[in-house]
Structure formats: C-alpha cells, structure tokens
Chain A
Amino acid sequence: MPGDKIYEDLSVVVRRAQNVFRVIAVLACLVLSYYWKVQVLDHKKYWDLAEANRTRTRILSAPRGIIRDREGEILADNQASFKVSLIRDNVKNAAVSYPAISRLLGISEEELRSRIERYKKLPSFEPVIIKDGLAPEEIAPIEGRRLEFPELEVEAEPKRYYPLKTTAAHVLGYLQERSPEELRDNPGRGPRIGDMGGRSGIEKQYDEELTGRDGAVIEIVDSLGRKRSEQATEEPSQGQDLRLTIDARLQAKAEELLGDREGAIIVLEPATGDVLTLASSPKFDPNKFITRFTPEEWISFINDPASPLENRAVRGLYSPGSIFKPVMALVGLDLGFVTPQTTVYCSGSLMIYGTSRACWFAPGHGSMNLADAIKNSCNIYFYSLGRQLGIDTIAAGAEKMGLGRKTGLDIPGEKEGLVPSSEWKMKALKTPWFPGETISVAIGQGQLQVTPVQIAALTAMIATRGVRVVPHLVLEPAALRPEAPAPAAPPFKPETFESVIEGMWRSVNAGGTGQGAFVEGLDACGKTGSTQVVSRERAEMLARAGKPIKTHSWFTGFAPRYNPRVVVTVLIEFGGGGGAIAGPVAGEIFKLWKDIQKK
C-alpha cells in the first residue's frame, strides 16, 4: 500500500465537490417534480393543446335544399363554386400583403379592407371571405401561390343557382350574407362568417328548413399547415328539398303577359289553396344577388322607384274597385236587402246625399237585377245597395270574405289591407264616418285597400260557395303547409253565392265587362275592376287638359262555373279599363291552364 506522504490531502476539495453534487441532486429532484406537474398533473391541458396543434377542422358547407315547382322543374339549385377567405391571424404585415392580395384576386384594396373591417368584432382566427363565386379554373392561379399567401384559404362551397332566372323570383326570394349580428347571436355550431341566408320569399320563409347542416373534416396537419391525413369526416347534410305549388309554365306565362307593366297575377286552385302562379312585375334575377359583395345591380334595384324587389301580389295595396261588387251583392242578399230579382233603374247617375254620383256608363244601364248589375258592373245598383247597408254592415261582410287581414300565404311580408268602418275611422282619424263615404266604398273605392292575393282568396271562396282555404306555396313536404283553418260554417248560404256567380258568369260569357277573359269551352266566371288612382278633382283636371286618366286594371275570376278548379286574379297598375286590359290577360292564363290540364 502506498504511504500517506505520497498523496496530498484533498479532503477539502473533495468535500466541496460532494456538496456541489448534493445540490445538483436536489435540483434534479425539483426539476423532476416539475416534469411530474407538467406531464401528469397538467397532462389534459397539454394534450388538448397538442390535439389543437395537429388537427384542423375544415367546415364542409351544406348545400341548401332544392326548390322545385309542382311538376318537378328545378327553380332553385346549387352549383359548385369556390371562395377565398383571409385568416386575419396569419397576416404578418397588412401593408404588404393587402396590396398583394388585392392584385392576386383582382379586388380593390378598399373593398378588401372594408370586408375585413366588417368582421373586426369576430374572433381573428375566423376566416373572412374576401372573394366568392369563383370557377375551378379561376382558383388554379391562387392555389399555385398558396405558400406565398399563408393567410389565404380557398374552399369549395355550394352556391345557389336559379336556373329559370327571373321566373318566380318574387316567390323564391333571394339570399344575402348573414349579418355579423346574426352570427354573434348564434355561437357554436350555428351559421359561420359568410353563410348566406334567405332574405325574402320562400328562401326566407323556409330558411331554417332549406339550410343544411354543415359537415366537417378533422385533418391532421403538420407545423406548416400541410394536410397529412384525415382523422374524421362528418358529411354535410343538404337542407330539406321543397316542392312548390307553383307551375313554372303558368308562372312564366303570367310574367310574360305582365311584361314591362307593373302589376301582379295570381293563379290558385280554389279547392286546395295551391298557388299555381304568384307573379309580380317588374321582376329581378336573384342570381345577381348571390355574392357577398354589394353588386351595382343591387344598388340600382334598391333605388328604382318601381321597386322591382317588392312582391306586389302580397304587398301591393290597391283599391279593389268594381271587383268588390260581388261582396256587396253577397251581403245584400244575405241580409235580405235585395233578392236576385230586385231591380234598380240606372239612368247613368244618381243623387245621393245631395251629390250626383255617376255610373261609369253615362247613358245608363236601365233596369238592372243583381246578376246584370254584376255583369255590367253597374255603379248605380251598388250605390243604392250601399246606402241601404251602411258602412259597418259592408265592413262586416268584407271581413267575412277575408279582407282586412292576411290570407296566411306562406311568404314573408304579406300586407293586411284595410276595411274601413265607422269604428276604424274614429280610432284612426278621430272623425266620425260620413254617409257619403259609404257610397265610395260600395263600389270598392274610398279607403278600402286590398292586396291581389286577398282578392284571389276571396274569389276562391266565391267559387267554392263559401269554403275558406289558406293559399299556400309549399306542396311538399305537406307538414310545412300553413295550417288549414278549422272548417267554419260558410259565411253565406250557398244559394246566395249562386246569384253572384250567375252575374260573374254573364260578365264573361254573355257580353259583360269580363268578356275579354272568355275561353271557348271553359265556362269561366269573373269580374272586372278599374280603380281610380287619382282624386276626383285631379281626374277632372286631367280630363279638362285632355290627358288620359289611366286606372288600375283588375280582373278576378274562376273556372269552371261548377266544380271550380282555377282562380285567376290579374292586376295591372295604370293599365286602363279592367275589361279591356286585365280581362284578356286573364283569358290567356285560363287558356294556358286549360291546355296544361288537357296534357
């Protein structure tokens, strides 16, 4: 063994080394306990973060339900389209990337910035759609430069497409991007930024049903965001398909007949309430609005004084004029003020309450019974009937026939119209009713206001001798149809209707005012109306100046007389006389309807 002297005494340095090692050992244990905390105690948190890292959820937009007409013709379809979104979180330098993106996509920088501004309150990881409606070939150059623009995302989406363009535009309505407020109110699996929603018509009425459930793909991605594989896929489910009561052929014909004129045409089945046609003019092409960007067309439509977006069939308020006369007749017969045989002598004018009231036919119709008064639309007969009935009796009868309230047609925005009464006038205008006003209402003028669809529903009730149906646009699924009213007793006795229908039949078939609507072998019944849209003073002024006074032109009728199958209501604004203008239009519709039935 070596002697002690050979070795230095290293005990001091050795002890120091050992102490340092002890400190390191303690430190290592502390570090290990921290690893315990991170790996075991906080495991869930980091696991979730790792999952969030490696997975990306890509939403698969669900197509909206297809809308077809009653024969199966597609009215609203979906087309493949692409959209480009910007993820604000990934923008490194807006001053550099916004101009580059604006060049890449061919959009102005202001537009891009205003898009982004619109969604500034929503979380910045949410993509903001900055261009849409792109075809596959337009996408290729953008995809090719994907790595240069990590903030951009290109996604396929189904885009709404209306193959018949303007046809039934008002019925179908249009889509617009859901507002940021709508999105905030629907957190979670609700609509996302840029989702489109129905803004009018069927698209709005059945928005919930038509909207599908978006699917999602959970993708495994690497740190550069490149997709490696798919973990799970939930297929999107398309919205519910709808079959409408609309007949596209009749609808197109009605729109063609209206042409440039402002007006509305309604065709419905009186027994079922199926609306075969609901045309409004001027029309628009809803395809033009299916973009998230405000197109110039939109601005011009909004500013157009003719309001092409307005659905006149349900929202236009008009005086019914002479087409109100059948209602007067029903009330008079029902309450026994007149019988079908009661005659009134028309000399062309009548003094009532100290004022001379003229018939539209200045020479006078002579002695008129009820049916002939309807056939010839004799004012004098109804002035005299109106004087006997009084306003409140007339109002009650009009309400029985469905005026003054919505028909319940399944389309948003229907107007109620107005049936004036003494009570209404006191409430609304704070003045008592003047008997003279009753005389105006008796021939469908004055404050009385109706929508074309109310007139169609009223005509259907006459045709069915008092059976009330709710007009509706959805044929299938049947569960969506508006609830049919509880079968109420008919407002008037069936015999009462027969006398009025006799007058309406004569009007079309026996040289009455409605003869323009005559169709060989159809046995149609109808009533015309020409409503003064300017005050009497103004009308007289125009007449003195030799200018034509154009009236709103009405026709409403049904066919055949017994077991009625179709109601046609035509309104043409400033068209002229109802018999001369609206009648023949209705005739064309009857004819086409008859041809369709033959096939």
Chain B
Amino acid sequence: MMIDRQLFREFDWLLLGLVLLLSLTGAFFIYSSSHFLPGNYCLRQIIWIGISLIALFLVAAVDYKFLVAFSIYFYGLIVALLAVSLLLVRLIAGTKSWIRLGIMQFQPSELAKIVTILVLARLFAEYKGRFLSLRAAGLALLLAGIPLVLVIVQPDLGTALTMSIVVAAAFIMAGLKRKTIILFLALALVIGVGGWNFGLKDYQKKRLTTLVNPGRDVRGSGYQIMQSKIAIGSGGLAGKGFMKGSQSQLRFLPARHTDFIFSVIGEEFGFLGVTAVLLVYGLMLARMFWSVTKARDRAGAYIVFMASMLIAGQALINILMIIGLFPVTGVPLPFLSYGGSSLLSNYVACGLILNVRMRRFANV
C-alpha cells in the first residue's frame, strides 16, 4: 500500500508517543509486580506492544471509509465468533470468552468493542439531524445490543460495561430527545431489576454489594478492594520505591499486573507517581478528543469520539474501581495493564483515531 506523504505528515506522532510512553510505563510496573512469578509477563507485554503497534499502523493505513463500509461484515463475523466462543466452553478466570491462539490467548469480546464502534459510526453517519429519531435509536440499540448481550452472558461484565459506555457515547453524540431518554431509562430499569434477580451470578452481585460495604466481605471481593486501598494509601506522597511495595511484592494485592496495576504505581511511586501517570493520560485523552474536531465527516467524528470514550471510560472505571469507588468488574487500565487482547483492542482504537485524523482532508 502506498503511503501518501501528506498522510504521513498528518499522522499524530505526539499521540502515538504518549500511547507508547504509557505502554512502557505499564511494562515497567508489570515487571515490578510480577518479576517473582514464572512466565516473564513483562517481556510478553513488550511483545504484545510490538504486535499491537503493527495492528495500529495497519488499521491506520486503510482509509476508515472502507472500514466503515465493511463494518457490517465485521459485525457478522464477531457475532458469530462470540457465539462460537460461548459454545466452546473454556473456563478461564470465571469467563468463557477466551479463544486460544497459539501460546497467547485472545478474547473476541475485545474485538467486539471495535466492531461496535465501526458499525455504530456507519449507522449514525446516516442521521444528520440535531437529534436522533426514536426509530433510529431503537435500531442502534438493537444493533449494539446483540454483541453486548453475548458478552454479558459470557459472562464478562467488564467488557460489557465498556461496550455500554461506547454505545452511550454514540447516543450522546447523536443527541437524544427527552422522550427517547425517558424510554431508555425505563427500559434500563426493567432490565436492571430483571437482571439483578435472574441474570447476575452470585459473585457478581457480591461485587456490587461489596462496593457499598467493603468491610462486609473481607475475604472475598471486599478483600481485593481493601488490599488495593491499603496499597495506594500506604504509598503516601512519594511512594515506597520501585519494587519495594510490600502490598504488591508480598502478594497481598490481587491481580497486581493486570487490573490493579495502578495500585502498584500508587504504592511504589505514591501520589506523585499517580499524578504524573494521570497527567500523561489526560494529555493523551485530550489529544484523542481533540481529534474529533479534525474529522472530515460525521462517521469520522463518531469513530474518534467512541474510540476516545472506549479508552477514557475504561481508564475512569479502573482508577475508580481500584480505590473502592466502583465495583470490581475486571476492567483493565488501557495501555498499562497486562493483557494482549486488551492492549491490542486499545491500540486498534487508537489506530482508528489516528486514521481519522490523518485523513482530515477530503480526497476529492
């Protein structure tokens, strides 16, 4: 594929630099929190960063209008994949959503997020009004709902939550009439009550109740929140130093290198470390959201916004979760947490943003 010089010039190198900076910071703390474990997680993460970087360039290289155009096929494919993975029951870490690819495992639900972004962008690009009609909103809900339900029944509450944020972002951008909002809220209430009573597994309910009262379940999910808070709080202003956090090094902290990586940062580098990482994160997100203004068309704007919200939503949930302000739902911190699938899908999302931004000028 020929790479246009103009495309190269319009490529947002700063954004990519910030993403890489965060990824390497993540690898650094993955080393600190897993060096005592067999499996060399740090090296595997670096390899995944490489793979994800290639994916990012590949995604950025193809004009997003083709991606949007083909999104309905991707959509069909991912729905099928989710259904198959549901049937191929492989119980790993309480979820059934892993598909084995060689040595590395891959979660199709991660890709479902990307496909949802593309398919919703395609749909909403058609509606150019100030507000979305009820019919269009219903259609969008149906379209996004199918993979979402498949992810929920996996059950992968974390991914489902992130997908919901993406869908909600699309609706926010499209604009909903008050009537539609009320209808949606009523629907959400019905599903919520029904889901609590019939759908949610006991451990999921426990996680939600634990949020309200962490002391109630000291040995279960309350334990995770408690240990994470202890790690963060004991870090203080400047932290205990690299590889010196007792909570992470002595394994009191759960899921240290994955979902709770930010607790390790909080423990070993303190409030200053937390602030520094969040500053870089904020800069990256600002850069991402700012790309919305550069979109040449409606589909592009939707893609950038939803992709940015995918990253921002996960990040927000994660940093709220590890300090006990949000239930333990298994949402990783994008670019920092260990995990190939998550890294790949976030890089692809970033690739989409870069894609839209570098093609800001219409190819007339």
- Kindly supply a per-residue 1/0 record for chain A positions 217-235, scoring 1 wherever the CB is within 8 Å of any chain B CB and 0 otherwise: 0001111100010000000
Tell me which of B130, B270, B292 contacts A18 (CB under 8 A). Answer: B292
Q: Which one of A6, A17, A21, A221 contacts B362 once the chains associate, using CB atoms below 8 Å?
A: A6
A14-B236 Cα distance, complex, nearest whole Å: 39
Q: Are B298 and A10 in contact (CB-based, < 8 A)?
A: yes
**Count of chain A residues with Cβ under 8 Å from any Cβ of B?**
41
Report A-chain residues with C-beta under 8 Å of the C-beta of B135.
none
**Contacting B252 at CB < 8 Å: which of A2, A32, A39, A223?**
A223
Query: Bound complex: CA of A21 vs CA of B282, how far in Å?
Result: 10
Stretch at the interface among B2-10, B24-32, B67-75, B315-323: B315-323
A146 to chain B, nearest CB (A): 18
Chain A residues whose C-beta falls within 8 Å of the C-beta of B297 in the assembled complex: 7-8, 10
Given contacts A6-B362, A24-B285, contact A17 B292 (CB under 8 A): yes
Tell me if A35 and B305 are in contact (CB < 8 A): no
Inter-chain contact B282/A47, CB cutoff 8 Å:
no
CB <8 Å contact, A13 and B250: no
**CB-CB under 8 A for A12 and B235, given A50-B246, A222-B251:** no
With A2-B362, A28-B278, A35-B266 as contacts: A17 and B250 at CB distance below 8 Å: no
Per-position 1/0 for A5-48, Cβ under 8 A of B: 01110101110111011001101100110111011101101110
A34 to B297: give the CA distance in the assembly, Å.
Answer: 39
- Residue from the set A17, A36, A43 with the largest chain B CB neighbour count within 10 Å: A17
B229 to chain A, nearest CB (A): 6
**A43 and B234 contacting across the interface, CB-CB below 8 Å:** yes
Contact of B364 among A6, A43, A54 (CB under 8 A): A6
- List A contacts of B361 (CB < 8 A): 2
Task: Name the interface residues of B170-185: CB closer than 8 Å to any CB of A.
Answer: 172-175
Kindly state whether residue A100 has any CB partner on chain B within 8 Å. Answer: no
Q: What separation, in Å, do the CA atoms of A53 and B267 have in the docked complex?
A: 14
The answer to whether A39 and B251 have CB atoms under 8 Å apart is no
**B356 to A: closest C-beta gap in Å:** 12
The one of B233, B302, B312 in contact with A38, judged by C-beta atoms closer than 8 angstroms, is: B233
Known: A12-B175, A35-B232. A54 touches B252 (CB 8 A): yes
Number of A-B residue pairs with CB-CB distance less than 8 Å in the complex they form = 140
Chain B nearest Cβ from A217, distance in angstroms: 17
Q: How far is the CB of B349 from chain A (nearest CB, A)?
A: 15
**Chain A residue with minimal CB distance to B262?**
A35
Q: Residue A49 at the B interface, CB < 8 A?
A: yes
Q: State whether B233 touches A25 (Cβ < 8 A).
A: no
Determine if B251 and A224 form an interchain contact, defined as CB atoms under 8 angstroms apart.
Answer: yes
- Is B271 part of the contact surface with A, judged by Cβ < 8 Å? yes
- Tell me the residues in window 115-158 of chain B with beta carbons closer than 8 Å to chain A beta carbons: 128, 130
Q: Which chain A residue shows the least CB distance to B304?
A: A17
Q: Is B289's beta carbon under 8 Å from chain A?
A: yes
- Which residues 295-349 of B have a CB within 8 angstroms of A? 295-298, 301-302, 304-305, 308-309, 312, 316, 319-320, 323, 325
A39 and B286 contact, Cβ closer than 8 Å, known pairs A7-B296, A12-B130: no
- Cβ 8 A contact of A35, one of B128, B234, B271, B312: B271
Give B163 Cβ to nearest chain A Cβ, in Å: 17
Q: Which of A205-224 contact B (CB under 8 A)?
A: 220-224
From B130, B229, B250, residue with most partner A Cβ within 10 Å? B250
Contact of B271 among A6, A27, A36 (CB under 8 A): A36
- A310 CB → nearest B CB, Å: 52
Residues of chain A within 8 A (CB-CB) of B289 are 17-18, 20-21
Cα–Cα distance between A54 and B246 once the two chains are bound (Å)? 7
Contact B235–A39 (Cβ < 8 Å): yes
Which B residues lie within 8 Å of A21 (CB)? Answer: 285-286, 289, 308, 312
B268 to chain A, nearest CB (A): 12
Is B59 positioned at the interface, with any CB of A under 8 Å from its CB? no
* Nearest Cβ on chain A to B257's Cβ, whole angstroms: 15
Contact of B325 with A39 in the complex, beta carbons under 8 Å? no
Q: Compute how far the CA of A185 lies from the CA of B251 in the bound complex, rounded to whole angstroms.
A: 38
- Contact (Cβ within 8 A) A222 B292: no
Of A46, A53, A224, A228, which one neighbours B232 at CB under 8 angstroms?
A: A46
Q: Is the CB of A31 within 8 A of B320?
A: yes
Question: Do B274 and A32 have beta carbons less than 8 Å apart?
Answer: yes
**Contact partners of A54 in chain B: CB under 8 A:** 246-247, 250, 252
* With known contacts A16-B175, A43-B237, A50–B231 Cβ distance under 8 A: yes
Q: Is B213 an interface residue (CB 8 A)?
A: no
Given contacts A21-B285, A28-B278, contact A39 B237 (CB under 8 A): yes
Q: Is the CB of B233 within 8 A of A47?
A: yes
Give the residue among A13, A32, A42, A222 with the most B Cβ atoms within 10 A.
Answer: A13
Q: Are B230 and A8 in contact (CB under 8 A)?
A: no
Q: Is B293 an interface residue (CB 8 A)?
A: yes
Asked whether B275 is an interface residue with its Cβ less than 8 Å from the other chain, the reply is: yes
Chain A residue nearest to B309 in the complex (CB) = A20
- In the bound complex, CA of A40 to CA of B270 (Å): 9
Residues of chain A with a CB closer than 8 A to B298's CB: 8, 10, 13
Q: Does any Cβ of A come within 8 Å of B211's Cβ?
A: no
Interface string of B46-90 (1 = CB under 8 A from A): 000000000000000000000000000000000000000000000
Q: Are A39 and B270 in contact (CB under 8 A)?
A: yes
Are B274 and A39 in contact, CB atoms less than 8 angstroms apart? yes
A6 shortest CB reach to chain B, Å = 5
Distance (whole angstroms) from the CB of A534 to the closest CB of chain B = 71
Please give, as numbers and ranges, the residues of chain A lying within 8 Å of B285 by CB-CB distance: 21, 24
Cα-based distance from A36 to B296 in the complex (angstroms): 41
**How far is the CB of B187 from the nearest CB of chain A, in Å?**
22
CB pair A31 B316 closer than 8 Å: yes
Q: Is B169's CB within 8 Å of the partner chain A?
A: yes
Q: Decide yes or no: A50 and B234 within 8 Å by CB, A8-B297, A16-B175, A228-B250 being known contacts.
A: yes
List the B side residues contacting A39 at CB < 8 Å.
232-233, 235-237, 266, 270-271, 274
Does A38 lie within 8 Å of B229, measured CB to CB? yes
Which residues does chain B contribute within 8 Å of A221, judged by CB atoms? 250
Q: B296 to chain A: which residues have CB within 8 Å?
A: 7
**In the complex the two chains form, what is the Cα distance from A38 to B298 in whole Å?**
42
- In the complex, chain A residues whose CB is within 8 Å of the CB of B251: 222-224
How distant is A229 from chain B, measured CB to nearest CB, in Å?
A: 10
B residues in contact with A32, CB < 8 Å = 274-275, 278
CB within 8 Å of B: which A374-414 residues: none
A182 to B305, CA, bound (A): 70
Residues of A within 8 A of B174 (CB): 13
Residue of A whose beta carbon sits closest to that of B320? A31
A47 and B325 in contact (CB under 8 A), knowing A2-B364, A17-B292? no
Between B175, B227, B246, B296, the greatest number of chain A beta carbons within 10 A of the residue's beta carbon is seen for: B246
Contacts of B232 in A (CB 8 A): 35, 38-39, 46
| Contact A16 B172, beta carbon cutoff 8 Å | yes
C-alpha gap A46/B235 in the complex (Å): 8
Residues on A with beta carbons closer than 8 Å to the beta carbon of B308 = 17, 21
CB distance B312 to A24 under 8 Å?
yes
**What residue in chain B is nearest A31 (Cβ atoms)?**
B319
Q: Which residues of B contact A17 (CB under 8 A)?
A: 173, 289, 292, 301, 304-305, 308
Query: Which residue on B lies nearest to A6, using beta carbons?
Result: B362
Residue of A25, A36, A46, A222 with highest tally of chain B CB at under 10 A: A46
A31 — which chain B residues lie within 8 A by C-beta? 316, 319-320, 323, 325
Besides A13-B292, A21-B308, A43-B233, 8 other A-B contacts (C-beta < 8 A):
A2-B364, A17-B301, A24-B312, A27-B316, A32-B275, A34-B323, A46-B232, A54-B247
Q: Which residues of A contact B (CB under 8 A)?
A: 2, 6-8, 10, 12-14, 16-18, 20-21, 24-25, 27-28, 31-32, 34-36, 38-40, 42-43, 45-47, 49-51, 53-54, 220-224, 228
A-B contact pairs, 25 of them (CB 8 A): A8-B128, A10-B297, A10-B301, A12-B175, A13-B173, A14-B292, A14-B301, A21-B308, A28-B282, A31-B316, A31-B319, A35-B266, A35-B319, A38-B229, A38-B323, A39-B236, A39-B266, A40-B237, A43-B234, A45-B233, A47-B233, A47-B234, A50-B234, A50-B247, A223-B252
For the complex of A and B, 6 pairs with smallest distance between CB atoms: A46-B233, A50-B234, A21-B289, A39-B271, A54-B246, A17-B292
